[in-house]
Amino acid sequence: GEDVEQSLFLSVREGDSSVINCTYTDSSSTYLYWYKQEPGAGLQLLTYIFSNMDMKQDQRLTVLLNKKDKHLSLRIADTQTGDSAIYFCAESKSGGGADGLTFGKGTHLIIQP
């Protein structure tokens, strides 16, 4: 099966919160990441969390990690039209700059006016 799984689409109204979910299978995953890809662009690193943390907040972004269930989520508060993109969850054992990343298929975030 897939190492990292995400639902393919999420539709939210502008101004609401978006919650993008991800599950992973490898219990030795130490670093968990969220990347954003806008149409025609490369990947932008949004945030990451270590496996010994359960929450990380950065402005409008909140990452929650349930290590027991191997579940990661990204909450975007006050979703704006500029948040429309594909969001990729990724994991790594030693760090994305050390041994590369395993990505999910990405979640298309669609913003309704």
Partner 1 sequence: SAVISQKPSRDICQRGTSLTIQCQVDSQVTMMFWYRQQPGQSLTLIATANQGSEATYESGFVIDKFPISRPNLTFSTLTVSNMSPEDSSIYLCSGGTGATEAFFGQGTRLTVV
Which residues are at the interface with partner 1 (CB under 8 A)? Answer: 31, 33, 35, 41-45, 48, 88, 92, 94-106
Q: Give the residue with the Cβ less far from partner 1, 17 or 50.
A: 50
Q: Give the residue with the Cβ less far from partner 1, 1 or 42.
A: 42
Beta carbon of residue 73, minimum distance to partner 1 (angstroms, whole number):
18
Beta carbon of residue 77, minimum distance to partner 1 (angstroms, whole number):
23
Q: Is 55 exposed, middle or buried (0-12, 13-18, 19+ CB in 10 A)?
A: exposed
> In this structure, is the dihedral angle defined by the CA atoms of residues 102, 40, 10 and 44, taken in order, positive or negative?
positive
